Amino acid sequence: MNVDETSMRVEKSKHWVHVYSVGDITLKRLHPGRVKEAIDEIKFIPRYGGVIVHDCWPSYFSNEQSADALCGSQLMRELEFAINSNDYAWARTMKRLLKETCAKVSSRKSKRLNADEYASLEKRYRNILTRGIAELP
């Protein structure tokens, strides 16, 4: 399930539109709170037992009934920040790996990697992380 929120004005005060999307079904709820308060009151996320794809907002990690996955666009923004602010080579390499993998998967009808491709991806990913650990102060 993809989750996100965006702000809007309601009678001169800030509210949040919380969006929950699975397949072709989308639920939108208006709430005065950003994430934690809305999660607790709307009670949709705590009842969901699958993977929640989100933008790394800390409150989304608080749900113990589901697994977390980070939004690819958010990961790319974080990597771009690491590149622009610190010129980290690992971040540049990781960004390239994610873009290559996305292009490969997107071009296929199955939207999947085969077992050998996945093993290669995992190996490259771990190598980049190892280089990143060495590069970080």
> Per this entry, what is the length of the chain?
137
Range name among 8-12, 64-68, 76-80, 130-134 with the lowest pLDDT average: 64-68
Element at 16 (helix H, strand E): strand 13-22
Listed in sequence order, the residues at least 6 apart from 58 whose beta carbon sits closer than 8 Å to its beta carbon are none
DSSP state of 11: T
Closest CA to 82 of 32, 31, 117, 129: 129
Band (pLDDT 50/70/90 cuts) for residue 99 is very high
The structure tokens listed for 128 are 């980049």
Residue 137 confidence (pLDDT) above 80: no
Reported pTM: 0.73
Residue 7 confidence (pLDDT) above 90: yes
Tokens 């990143």 label which residue? 132
Three-class DSSP category at 44: coil
Cα–Cα distance between 137 and 129 in angstroms, integer? Answer: 14
User: Mind listing the pLDDT tens digit for each residue in 33-79?
Assistant: 888 888 888 888 888 889 999 998 888 888 888 899 999 999 999 99
Burial class of 7 by CB neighbour count within 10 A (0 to 12, 13 to 18, 19+): exposed
Residue 64: what pLDDT?
A: 82
Band (pLDDT 50/70/90 cuts) for residue 130 is very high
| Torsion sign, CA atoms 49, 21, 58, 70 | positive
